[in-house]
Amino acid sequence: MSGIGHDRRGAWRAALACMVTLAVAMGLGRFAFTPMLPIMLSEGKLELAGGGLLASLNYLGYFFGAVSCAAIGIKASSMVRGGLLATAALLVGMGLLHSFIGWGVLRAAAGVMSAWVFVFASGWGLRRLAETNSPMLAGVIYTGPGIGIAMTGLLGGALGRWGSEAGWIGLGLLAVVLIAVIWRVFDDGERVGVAGGAAASPAAATGSVSGSASARSDAIWLVALYGLAGFGYIITATFLPVIARQALPGSPWPDFFWPLFGAAIIPGALIGARAPVHWDNRLLLAAAYALQALGVVFSVAWPSIAGFALGSLLLGMPFTAITLFAMREARRLRGNAAAGLIGYATASYGVGQIIGPLFAAPLAQRTGSFQLPLLVAAAALALGAALFAVVWSKYRRSQAA
């Protein structure tokens, strides 16, 4: 019994450390820009199109970080620690530098770090949970981005009252404190491999069907449709406070929709992780895409406090659940060789994220409204939901035959 207890403690240590890691790398390093953007716009430091370009540079960095992971042979714990320290430094740097080019370099570098930390921390954490027979704690890991987003939304706006410089530096110092808390946990399980094990781990038990033609077809669909998720959510995720302020001028509520989005991610990740392994991932992805499409539509069709609140909840709840289901589907298709497929899917998601702000910001600046970009984003998510349902339906028919 004592051995089991030790494994349980080790599993919780790993899950909570990875949760905090993703909160720092994703919630702060990647998404702090969302609540800071309206502050920088109001200070006259940026125009909306420039903000969209900085966002896309961050997502471009995320893309390159994701596709480079398979070629990195450094120990996972070292990559996580190095990426976290760099994330904190890059946040502080946003407050210290005052040039657009400098900000562009910092945001691109932050994107690379967030991808590296996400992939390596996911691999390290999922493998530790498999070793300690606690795969259901994966949901705890993926609450991290939501916790980080909620923190940036609440603290970013408050710190920003002293100016965007104070906001960025304050968030960087918060990252340092969180990193110090979890630093030693990554000494656990030193035998864990590097990125190649990233997403391999616990679901090998679900079985790999990588040799079949249908599996190859499903892998292509997964990579293509995962990109629609990246495009579909990113316009709202980048500009939500700006969109809400345009619709609700003078209201104090726009600063709370972004942390509400982050808070909604937390139950979504926990619920998603508890989805039985025999449930079809493609159908789960279709449902999650449909929820996000509905959330985006609410912000257009019902631009009120209630509409934005409901839209934020519907967009946030499936956010990391989509990632969880996509990783699970990749492991179903490729088993312990899933890392390559996950890398391609993550790169596709990254392309969608890059295109989103580049498409939305200039159009919104020219028309004075985000209505058309948001409707296009909702259509992309709805298309993804429909196509995942079609792929699932074809699978069911083939099984019945």
pLDDT digits (tens, 9 = 90+) for 263-322: 999 999 999 888 887 899 999 999 999 999 999 999 899 999 999 999 999 999 999 899
Neighbours of 114 (CB within 10 A): 30
- Please enumerate, as own/partner, the contacts of 305-311 that have beta carbons within 8 Å and a separation of 24 or more: 305/248, 305/251, 305/253, 308/240, 308/244, 308/247, 308/248, 308/253, 308/254, 308/257, 309/257, 309/260, 311/236
Q: What angle is formed at CA 146 by the lines to CA 121 and CA 218, rounded to 5 degrees?
A: 65
Q: Cα(319)–Cα(272) distance, rounded to whole angstroms?
A: 10
| CA-based nearest residue to 225, from 361, 392, 20 | 392
Instruction: Give the torsion through C-alpha atoms of 63, 68, 70, 75, to 10 deg.
Output: -110
Q: Cα(229)–Cα(384) distance, rounded to whole angstroms?
A: 7
> Are 358 and 52 contacting, i.e. CB atoms less than 8 angstroms apart?
yes
Q: What is the mean pLDDT of each run of 10 residues along the chain (401 residues)?
A: 60 95 94 91 91 94 87 89 97 95 97 92 87 86 93 79 89 96 82 41 44 79 94 91 89 88 94 87 96 95 93 94 88 77 85 92 90 96 96 76 58
Q: How many residues does the chain have?
A: 401
| CA-based nearest residue to 354, from 49, 66, 56 | 56
Tokens of 236: 């709202």
Tokens of 381: 């998510």
Q: What are the tens digits of pLDDT across the range 371-397?
A: 999 999 999 999 999 999 998 888 777
> Are 54 and 104 contacting, i.e. CB atoms less than 8 angstroms apart?
yes
Helices (H) and strands (E) in the chain, counts: 15, 0
Q: What angle is formed at CA 153 by the lines to CA 25 and CA 59, rounded to 5 degrees?
A: 45
Q: Cα(287)–Cα(311) distance, rounded to whole angstroms?
A: 16
Instruction: Give the torsion through C-alpha atoms of 227, 230, 235, 241, to 10 deg.
Output: 180
Residue spans of alpha helices (H) in 23-99: 33-42, 48-68, 76-96
Cα–Cα separations (whole angstroms), residue 80 to 18, 57, 58, 110: 9, 22, 19, 13
193 exposed, middle or buried (CB, 10 Å; 0-12, 13-18, 19+)?
Answer: middle
pLDDT at 336: 65
Cα–Cα separations (whole angstroms), residue 376 to 55, 296, 359, 382, 393: 18, 10, 10, 10, 25
Residue spans of alpha helices (H) in 248-370: 254-273, 281-301, 305-316, 319-334, 339-367
Q: Which amino acid is at 179?
A: I
Neighbours of 246 (CB within 10 A): 17
pLDDT at 211: 55
pLDDT at 401: 58
**DSSP designation for 28:** I
Tokens of 304: 């009120």
**DSSP designation for 193:** -
What does the radius of gyration of the chain's CA atoms come to, in whole angstroms? Answer: 20
